[in-house]
Structure 1
Amino acid sequence: MLNRTIAPPIIDPVAFDIKLPAYKKYILTNGIEVFAVDMGTEDTLMVNWVFAAGNWFENKKAVAAATNFLLKNGTSKRSAFDINEHFEFYGSYLNRACYNETSEITLHTLSKHINELLPVVAELVQDSVFPQEELNIYAQNAQQRLKVNLQKSEFVAGRLIDAYLFGDNHPYGKYLNLGDYAAVTREDVVSFYNDYYKEGRCVIFVAGKLPKDLIESLEKNFGKLPLKPRSLVAETIQHPLQPAAEKKHYIVNDPDGVQSAIRIARPFPNRKHPDFQKVLVLNNVLGGFFGSRLMGNIREDKGYTYGIYSYLMNFTSESGWMVSTEAGRDVTAETVKEIYIELQQLRDEEIDDEELMMTRNSMIGTILGDLDGPFQVIGRWKNMILNNVDDDYFERGVQIIKTITAKELHELANKYLAPEEFYELVVI
């Protein structure tokens, strides 16, 4: 019998042998890949269709996002109301999202209802009609949201720093103005839909408690469609980087504002670079979690901000290393100064064993939490598959966290944390 008067032993997360549960891969008749993770005890299911249809492929701003959003807003057989009613009747949730390289349709449902829902998703992919009135409503709502967001310094800072890093004509850096929504025509949307959805490149991810006939149902509804398998299509369409010549920018968005948005960032190689996973550890020391140096100095010690973080951008072709925070207007200059001090200290001195162990435990603990369920597991696989890294990438990353030395981190800091490499943006 368990003796509850004796505390159980404390085991550091780094002692765990973490394995990413495997997926099964299927290929439909038309070549579409299906990556499936069958796990969990609840009768729930997620199906995620990923298309090569992000803003990387559009010739006019806002077309990719508008097309993706309006997929649910009417087919030749169903109105937008009918479509939403159908999914709600079965207690399911259908969402869509548009990113830089990809766009997605995601279905969450009880496993037993999947055969009633897949045909309607296929209908959206092949028979969306994009009514003009729905496009008008979308443009009006998007313009209103943008007007509101443009009053927020953190929103302005988020879009401008990307433009400085990559160029405002690059898919990673371009941002939308009010007139861009009004300029999108139904013909633009239909053309993009025909090229990148009806006959587009697609990959499917499924996770949860999988019904026995799921692959058969996917084959029936999607295996005969004129879709094409995924490929490195983004590499066939080149978008040259055009970073800003000036690296320091100070913008007054609200003359009466009491808080500033601060973004300090540098370009960085994508996750295929041999230093990427190692720098993830260095980033955690700098600002990747609540116990990081930036948080300890600027939040806990100085009290300049409620939170400050650093992270590597999750882009496929290029990446960036970002420090992000909001601070009081009167302490903005001091906040920026302290950020550079932390960068310099990482370059000057090796971190000690205690801090390195805390960082290791934090990162491994985060990974353990992220693998708590089938949807999180397929999310890890999806990120690796879409970035075209090998299946050992996850385990290599875990080993790097466990074994990287203070000396290696010091060398990386001197390689990548030189202040002259960073773009600095303050928006009041």
Structure 2
Amino acid sequence: MPNRTIAPPIKDAVDFELVLPRCDHHVLSNGVEVYALNMGSEDTLQINWVFYAGAWYEKKKALAAATNFLMKNGTSGRTAFEINEHFDYYGAYVNRSCYSETSEVTLHCLNKHVHALIPVIAEMFTDATFLEEELAIYKQNSLQRLKVNLQKSEFVAGRLIDSYLFGEKHPYGKYNNAEDYEALTREDLVGFYEEYYRKGRMVIFAAGKLPENMIAELEKYFGGLPVRKHRETVVGVQHKIEPATEKKYRIMNDPNGVQAAIRLLRPFPNRHHPDFQKAQVLNNVLGGFFGSRLMGNIREDKGYTYGIYSYLLNFIHESGWMITTEAGRDVAEETVKEIYNEMELLREEEIDEEELMMTRNFIIGTVLGDLDGPFQVIGRWKNMILNGVDEAYFYQSLQVVRSITAKELQELANTYLQPDDFYELVVI
């Protein structure tokens, strides 16, 4: 019997030996890859179909997101209502998402119902009709949502800051206006759907308590489609980064507003650069979690904000280092000043061992949490595969967290945390 009067020993997260659960790799007849993780005790399942059909490939703004959303709103054999009723009947949920490079359709369901649900997903990928009335509703809802969001300073700031760094024509920097939604036609959607879904590049991720004939079902409904493997190189889809010439911006969005949205952003290489994993550690010291420098100064000490964070953008081709917060209008400029003060301290002084250990434990603890459950694990696999890195990258990142020194972090700060490199935006 354990002695309950004696506290158990405390073990730092960095001392845990983390293992990334392996997922099985299958290839369908048409070359489409399937990554399957049979894990978990609950009878639940998630299947994620990823297409290279994001904003990177659209010729008209808002086209990729509209096509992704309206795929579910009717096929030749089913209306939008009937499709939704079908998924609801089986207690399933289908989500659509569109990003800069990719778009996704995700099915959540009980594993015993997957065989009744997969055929309808296949219909969406091969037989979507894009009815004019569904497009009209989508436009109306998008315009109304845009009108409401444009009144929010944080929404305006999020639109503008990316455009300063990447340019308004770049997929990472462009944003949609009312005229972009109004210009969409059914012919636009059908053409994009034909090229990037029916004949596009696809990869499938499945996780949960997988049925025994899961791969056979995927082969039956998706192995014969004229889609291509996701690793296939696409020629001619290139975008030039055209950053703004000015670095500092002040926007008055609401003259009566009492809160300012603050964004600072600098260019940064993608995760294949040797500094990326090291910068993730420095980012956590600066503003990556609740115990960060920015949080301690600007929230806890000054009381200017409820929260302030920094992070590296999760784009495939390029990245950026972002700092984001909302603060009182009267302390907005002082908040920006304090952000730069924290950068200066990181450039001039090495962090002490206690702070470095706290940061290491937080990062490793977060990874540990991400490995708790099949959906979280497959999400990490998906992120690695779509970014072109392998399992070794995962273990290398852990080694970087455990071994990076205060001196290395200071050198990184002197390289990347220079105020002149940041685009600076305050929207009231």
Q: Structure 2 length normalisation: TM-score?
A: 0.99
Q: 2-side partners of 1:298 and 1:258: how far apart? A: 18
Residues 247-272 of structure 1, C-alpha deviations (whole Å, 9 max, x = no match): 00000000110000000110000011
Cα distance in structure 2, aligned partners of 1:244 and 1:371:
40
The AA in structure 1 aligned to 2:382 is: K
Q: In the alignment, what sits opposite 2:384?
A: 384
- 1:153 aligns with 153
User: Which amino acid is 2:11 matched to?
Assistant: I
- Deviations, residues 200-241 of structure 1 (Å, cap 9, x unaligned): 100000000010000000000100111110026467411000
Q: What is the aligned partner in structure 2 of residue 108 from structure 1?
A: 108
Distance of aligned partners of 1:234 and 1:407 in 2 relative to their CA distance in 1, 3 Å threshold:
farther
1:31 aligns with 2:31: yes
User: Residues 159-211 of structure 1: CA distance to partner in whole angstroms, max 9, x if unpaired?
Assistant: 10000010000000000001110100000000000000111100000000010
Amino acid at match of 1:385: I
- The equivalent of 2:311 in structure 1 is 311
Deviation, structure 1 residue 390: 2.2
Which residue in the other structure is 1:73 paired with? 73
Q: 1:202 to 1:241 in 2, by over 3 A?
A: same
2:74 maps to a residue whose letter is G
Deviation at 1:2, TM superposition (A): 2.1
Question: Counterpart in 2 of 1:334?
Answer: 334
Partner residue, 2:416: 416
Counterpart residue identity of residue 126, structure 1: T
Q: For 2:399 and 2:246, how far apart are their aligned partners in 1?
A: 39
CA contact (8 A) 1:56 1:234 kept: no
Question: Following the alignment from structure 1 to structure 2, what is the Cα–Cα distance between the partners of residues 356 and 173?
Answer: 34
Structure 2 partner of 1:215: 215
| Corresponding residue SS for 2:350 | coil
Specify the code of the residue in structure 1 equivalent to 2:62: A
Look up the match of 1:297.
297
Deviations 1:137-169 (A, max 9, x none): 000000000000000000000010000010000
1:169 aligns with 2:169: yes
Alignment of 1:188-227 (within 5 A): 188-227=188-227
How do 1:37-56 and structure 2 match up within 5 A? 37-56=37-56
* Letter paired with 1:213: N
Equivalences for residues 339-418 of structure 1 within 5 A: 339-418=339-418
Structure 1 distance, partners of 2:235, 2:363, is 32
Q: Which residue of 2 aligns with 1:129?
A: 129
In structure 2, the residue corresponding to 1:392 is in which secondary structure? helix
Q: Distance in 2 between matches of 1:157 and 1:65?
A: 21
In terms of mean alpha carbon deviation, does 236-245 or 148-157 score higher? 236-245
Contact 1:154 1:326 in 2 (8 A): yes
CA distance in 1: counterparts of 2:333 and 2:103, whole angstroms = 39
Q: CA deviation at 1:418?
A: 1.0
Give distance in 2, aligned partners of 1:143 and 1:73. 18
Residues in 1 aligned to 2:65 and 2:233: alpha-carbon distance in whole angstroms: 18
For residues 287-320 of structure 1, the C-alpha deviation after alignment (integer angstroms, 9 at most, x for no partner) is 0000000000000000000000000000000000
Whether the 8 Å contact between 2:201 and 2:232 is mirrored in structure 1 is no
Match of 1:3 in 2: 3
Task: Tell me the distance in 2 between the aligned counterparts of 1:105 and 1:70.
Answer: 11
Please give the secondary structure, in 2, of the residue aligned with 1:378.
Answer: helix
Q: Per-residue deviation at 1:123?
A: 0.5
Single out whichever of 2-11 and 141-150 deviates more from structure 2: 2-11
Query: What residue in structure 1 maps to residue 62 of structure 2?
Result: 62
Q: 1:10 is matched by which residue type in structure 2?
A: I
With over 3 angstroms needed to count, the CA separation of the structure-2 counterparts of 1:398 and 1:367, relative to structure 1, is: same
Query: What is the identity percentage for the equivalent residue pairs of Structure 1 and Structure 2?
Result: 68
Which amino acid letter does the alignment assign opposite residue 145 of structure 2?
R
For 1:71-93, what per-residue CA distance to the aligned partner results, in whole angstroms no more than 9, with x for missing partners?
11000000000000000100100
Any unmatched runs of 5+ in structure 2? none
Once the two structures are superposed, what CA deviation does each residue of 1:329-374 show, in whole Å capped at 9, x if it has no partner?
0001110000000011100011000000000001111111111100
CA distance in 1, matches of 2:385, 2:291: 31
Preserved contact between residue 26 and residue 34 of structure 1 (Cα < 8 Å): yes
Contact (CA 8 Å) 2:261, 2:427: kept in 1 or not? yes
* Equivalent AA in structure 2 for residue 314 of structure 1: N
Question: Residues 233, 146 of structure 1: CA spacing in aligned structure 2 closer, same or farther, 3 A cutoff?
Answer: farther
Aligned residues between the structures: 428
Paired residue secondary structure (2:391): coil
CA contact (8 A) 1:101 1:234 kept: no
Alpha-carbon distance in structure 1 between the residues aligned to 2:233 and 2:105:
19
* SS of match in other structure, 2:2: coil
For the residue of structure 1 that corresponds to 2:151, the secondary structure is coil
Mapped partners of 2:289, 2:76: distance in 1: 49
Name the residue aligned to 1:242.
242
Say which SS state the counterpart of residue 411 (structure 2) adopts: helix
Query: What is the rounded CA distance, in whole Å, between the counterparts of 1:356 and 1:242 in structure 2?
Result: 37
Q: Which amino acid aligns with 1:140?
A: Q
- Conserved? CA contact 1:347–1:417, under 8 Å: yes
SS state at 2:170 partner: coil
Aligned-pair Cα RMSD in Å: 0.8
Alpha-carbon distance, 1:125 to partner: 0.2
* Secondary structure of the structure 2 residue equivalent to 1:72: coil
Q: 1:206 to 1:275 in 2, by over 3 A?
A: same
Letter in 1 for 2:314: N
How far has the Cα of 1:3 moved from its partner? 2.0
TM superposition shift of 1:128: 0.2
Q: Which residue of 2 aligns with 1:86?
A: 86
Q: Secondary structure at the match of 2:71?
A: helix
**Residue of structure 2 equivalent to 1:274:** 274
| 1:14 aligns to 2:26 (yes or no) | no
Given that 2:288 and 2:309 are in contact with CA atoms closer than 8 Å, whether structure 1 keeps it comes out as yes
C-alpha distance in 1, partners of 2:232/2:30?
18
Using the alignment, how far apart are the partners of 2:373 and 2:32 within structure 1?
Answer: 25
